[in-house]
Amino acid sequence: MTTPGGPEGTAAERGAAFRSGFACFVGRPNVGKSTLMNALVGTKVAITSDRPQTTRRAIRGIVHRPDAQLVIVDTPGLHKPRTLLGERLDSLVRSTLTEVDVIGFCVPADQPIGPGDRFIARELANVKRTPVVAIVTKTDLADPETIARQLLAVQELGDFAEIVPCSADRGFQVDLVADLLISRLPEGVALYPEGDLTDEPEQVLVAELVREAALEGVRDELPHSIAVVVEEMAPREGRDDLVDVYAHLYVERPSQKGIIIGHKGARLKEVGARARRQIEALLGTKVYLDLRVKVAKDWQRDPKQLRRLGFYD
């Protein structure tokens, strides 16, 4: 096992080769994949929420180190397909698994291993070429005995290169997770300029922030029905401190439109204000946000609409 920043110093100091490559995280919904990626990268690039399956796009975060560059592809929860959208996510996940250099398989410390974890472990067993680091997440929510039992249970799930407990919330062993992933990367030059945190276009990040704001406080059935598209985003003419953002928030049914908008538009106003603050933090400028709610009937099941909303085959 690799020792983080061990007595020998960093790889660069030892004259070891620079490593670079791609990693992705899999795990059933809500196990803390996005939170861990954010902790590794050190800034907020993927959205998190306490609701399952909020991450739909492969957003990359980049860990820059003197000895390595680790590009993280954040995958959506791997799950059994239910809708067309589900099937798309799964094919996306499967192709991601074979393309990366190392996979982080997340299992939470505080919940017993279930059919979802086993399903993913079986999928991973089929991806023979890519090493898998099993990560027992959220250790702050479990006592040491439970964590120890979970580590043993995870060991039984498959043939893993490493098994490591960590808490992204407390920063416990996050560096070790990075070390273990990096140790599996091939030798190579940096793939992205230093300082780059993500190669997602800003518009996609902005759309994700709006969706995150819209998800806050809504009932369980709504999250999967919301999609956001930024139609236009540009600096206001003659101003270098203000960006205009025009975004459409799509729901599947007129009744959902009412929920999002709220009584006399109160809820939509709140969503807009919350999203605007986040977008301003991301862009570092003032933002005017024009947010419209639209109904795209059953968009999750309609290939044409899926493409329009950015989900490609």
Ligand X SMILES: Nc1nc2c(ncn2[C@@H]2O[C@H](COP(=O)(O)OP(=O)(O)OP(=O)(O)O)[C@@H](O)[C@H]2O)c(=O)[nH]1
Q: Can residue 90 be called a binding residue for ligand X (CB under 6 A)?
A: no
Q: Can residue 116 be called a binding residue for ligand X (CB under 6 A)?
A: no
User: 25 to 44, contacts with ligand X by CB under 6 A?
Assistant: 27, 29-35
The DSSP code for 118 is H
Structure tokens at 41: 């990268």
Q: Which residue's CB is nearer to ligand X, number 19 or number 33?
A: 33
Among residues 11, 19, 55, 134, the one that binds ligand X under rule CB under 6 A = 55
Q: Which residue's CB is nearer to ligand X, number 197 or number 295?
A: 197
Q: Can residue 20 be called a binding residue for ligand X (CB under 6 A)?
A: no
Among residues 26, 97, 107, 168, the one that binds ligand X under rule CB under 6 A = 168
Stretch that binds ligand X, among 120-128, 147-155, 166-174, 210-218 (CB under 6 A): 166-174
- Give the shortest CB-35-to-ligand X separation in angstroms: 3
284 — phi, psi (to 5°)?
A: 75, 20
- Give the shortest CB-53-to-ligand X separation in angstroms: 4
User: DSSP for 226-295?
Assistant: -EEEEEEEEEPTT-SSEEEEEEEEEESSHHHHHHHH-GGGHHHHHHHHHHHHHHHHHHSSEEEEEEEEEE
Structure tokens at 194: 């230093």
276 — phi, psi (to 5°)?
A: -60, -45
Among residues 21, 61, 77, 165, the one that binds ligand X under rule CB under 6 A = 77
Positions at the binding site for GTP? 27-34, 74-78, 137-140
Q: Which residue's CB is nearer to ligand X, number 63 or number 68?
A: 63
Distance between CA atoms of 160 and 293, rounded to whole angstroms?
45
Distance between CA atoms of 190 and 70, rounded to whole angstroms?
9
Among residues 20, 54, 173, 198, the one that binds ligand X under rule CB under 6 A = 54
Q: Can residue 173 be called a binding residue for ligand X (CB under 6 A)?
A: no
- Give the shortest CB-205-to-ligand X separation in angstroms: 15
Q: In what order do the strands lie in the sheet with 286-295?
A: 227-235, 242-251, 286-295
Residues sharing a CB contact under 8 Å with residue 291, sequence separation 6 or more, in sequence order: 210, 247, 248, 249, 268, 271, 272, 275
The DSSP code for 300 is G
Q: Which residue's CB is nearer to ligand X, number 21 or number 27?
A: 27
- Give the shortest CB-54-to-ligand X separation in angstroms: 5
Among residues 67, 90, 123, 140, the one that binds ligand X under rule CB under 6 A = 140
CB 181 within 8 A of CB 51: no
Cα angle: 42, vertex 240, 242; to 5 degrees: 70
With CB under 6 A as the rule, give the number of residues binding ligand X: 23
Among residues 10, 49, 111, 183, the one that binds ligand X under rule CB under 6 A = 49
Q: Which residue's CB is nearer to ligand X, number 108 or number 131?
A: 108
Residues that bind ligand X (CB under 6 A): 27, 29-35, 48-50, 52-55, 77, 137-138, 140-141, 167-169
